[in-house]
Amino acid sequence: MNIKNYMILILTITFALTSCKDDDDPVIEYVTVTETVEKEVTVTNTVEVDPYADSTLEGNITSNTTLDASKVWLLKGRVSVVDGVTLTIPAGTVIKAQAGTGTDASTLIIARGGKIDAQGTSDSPIVMTSVSDNIQAGGTYPSSGPALGIDARGLWGGLLILGKAPSSFSGDVTELQIEGIPSSDINGLYGGNDAADNSGTLKYVSIRHGGAEIGEGNEINGLTLGGVGNGTVIDNIEVIANVDDGIEFFGGTVNASNLLVWGQGDDGLDIDQAYAGTITNGMVVLEAASDHGLEIDGPEGSAAGSFTLKNITLVGATKGCAARGVNGEMADFRKGATGSLNAVYIKDFVGGKDIELDAQADSDSYAEGKLTFTNIDIQHPVDSDGNTCSGTETINQIFDDKVDSSKFESDATSFAEIVTSKKEGNGADESAFSWTFYKR
């Protein structure tokens, strides 16, 4: 804002006049003349403008709401879409989350009975990220490039979708509080008896730099799906640089396709509480901070459930024939996991990174045919000359029954093999991820 003021300048000029008296020396007299000059002066005031003045999401969303894709939206604190309400997020929308930890971590929750209608496109994906990310409205970056890299983790919470589908809980209770949300918040409940429950649609969504710690060793996943029913659509999802798991399924029956997780701090795809849906065309790319590509747990109650994983690619964190990071396992099966894996392609894991049946319950699950494997291909890393890195293991060594009570290890050659390149039809179709930040 420019303000024009007028400054009054007083100019004083003194003239010397000379007069003479008869027979006397000249006499010098001084006359002072004052002149007033009016001068225009411009004063500039800077007014700070809140860029999120009309685009902040905060507290509970209690009526149907549609975001404006031409604005960048601020996610401030724990935000919940409550029962009976739909949040619509158009293609190309950018949501930036305010920093915070503990119960104040910025998190978007779709509560049971609430819905999300987030339908991005391959050309205009929806982006959920941190305020530290310099992404602009429409998903573009300034010429200086993106501000955040793959090691920028834990800057906000994440996205949680909670539904009414069956899950297997300890004590066979029908509902539970999702991890990461205080028990005092009823919007954190999930579970029920409706396998066809519909929590909305999530398509072409990129979730970046989340996983804020809410307690000692307790972080939020990039995308949490708790008791989500198969009436929900989960398709073309990317999770980048999350502190905890990339995507975690807590029970439920929802099907999901075209999932990409890159650089997570814990597990890429995590299954718990007898998840009973199908995951198709998934890819996990580990970095130095990453733990398992897959971590799959079984039921916690009497409800069994059975998952299906097919066309999955796991890429290890290996550079120069050495593992980056200390963990980086291929997959771990725990707590009596039940389900099937088919057409899985695993590459670039060094020796000692294996596929484990973690305990007796998992060994029994495999022996009873409740956990099955078919068409598993493993490609060892190579050095700069194209030679297989030393220390890599055989199929029987890679598949490890920790309690040695099943034929898992000896059976492995019947369902898995070492390959030198990806086979047609195995692993993920990576062309499906051309829209992602990972591929750009």
- The predicted-structure confidence for 46-57, as pLDDT tens digits, reads as follows 545 678 978 999
Confidence of residue 215 (pLDDT cuts 50, 70, 90): low
- Using CA atoms, how far apart are residues 17 and 9, in angstroms rounded to an integer? 26
Residue 407 has pLDDT above 90, yes or no: yes
Give the other-Cβ count within 10 Å of 20's Cβ. 9
Query: What is the percent of the chain where pLDDT is above 90?
Result: 80
Burial of 178 per CB tally in 10 Å (0-12, 13-18, 19+): buried
Q: Where are the domains of the chain?
A: 2-44, 56-433
Distance CA 94, CA 179 (A): 26
pLDDT in tens, 379-389: 999 999 999 99
Question: Could you tell me the pLDDT band of residue 7, with boundaries at 50, 70 and 90?
Answer: very low
Cα–Cα distance list, 385 to 251, 308, 358, 381, 391 (Å): 45, 38, 36, 11, 16
Q: What is the mean pLDDT of the chain?
A: 90
Strands (E) across 216-338 are located at 218-219, 223-226, 233-240, 247-250, 256-262, 269-272, 278-285, 294-297, 307-315, 318-319, 322-323, 331-334
Is residue 233's pLDDT more than 80? yes
pLDDT at residue 354, as a whole number = 96
CA distance 374 to 206: 31
- Model confidence at 224, in pLDDT bands (50, 70, 90)? very high
How confident is the model over 94-141, as pLDDT tens digits? Answer: 999 999 877 778 999 999 999 999 999 999 999 999 999 999 999 999
Structure tokens at 46: 């800077």
**Phi/psi of residue 361, nearest 5 degrees:** -60, -35
Instruction: State how far the alpha carbon of 408 is from the alpha carbons of 81, 142, 297, 345, in Å.
Output: 45, 52, 17, 18
CA 19/CA 131 separation, integer angstroms: 80
Query: Does residue 32 surpass a pLDDT of 90?
Result: no
Distance of CA 338 to the CA centre of its chain: 27
**338 CB-side CA count, 13 A:** 21
Residue type at 195? Answer: A
> Would you state the pLDDT for residue 14?
47
Residues 6 or more apart whose CB falls under 8 angstroms from that of 310 comprise: 278, 279, 280, 340, 341, 342, 343, 344
Among candidate residues 229, 272, 230, the one with its CA nearest the CA of residue 247: 272
Give burial (CB, 10 Å; 0-12/13-18/19+) of 9: exposed
Residues 72-96 have a mean pLDDT of 97
> Model confidence over 277-291: pLDDT tens digits?
999 999 999 999 999
Q: What pTM did the predictor assign?
A: 0.89
pLDDT for res 38: 55
Run of H or E residues at 24: none
The helix (H) or strand (E) run that includes residue 220 is none
388 burial (CB, 10 Å; 0-12 / 13-18 / 19+) is: middle
Q: CB 391: neighbour CB atoms within 10 A?
A: 12
Tens digit of each residue's pLDDT (9 = 90 or more) over 16-30: 444 444 444 444 454
The larger pLDDT score, comparing residue 408 to residue 327, is at 408
Q: Are strands 307-315 and 339-347 parallel, antiparallel or unpaired?
A: parallel
What would the pLDDT profile of 410-431 be if each residue is shown by its tens digit?
Answer: 999 999 999 999 999 999 999 9
143 has pLDDT over 90: no
What are 75's strand-pairing partners?
Answer: 57, 97
Q: Does residue 248 register a pLDDT over 90?
A: yes
The Cα–Cα gap between 53 and 242 comes to 28
Give residue 3's pLDDT band: very low, low, confident or very high (50, 70, 90).
very low
pLDDT at 205: 98
> Would you say residue 39 has pLDDT above 60?
no
How many other C-beta atoms can be found within 10 angstroms of the C-beta atom of residue 58?
14
E strands in 24-125: 27-44, 56-61, 65-66, 72-81, 86-89, 94-97, 107-110, 115-119
* pLDDT for 405: 96
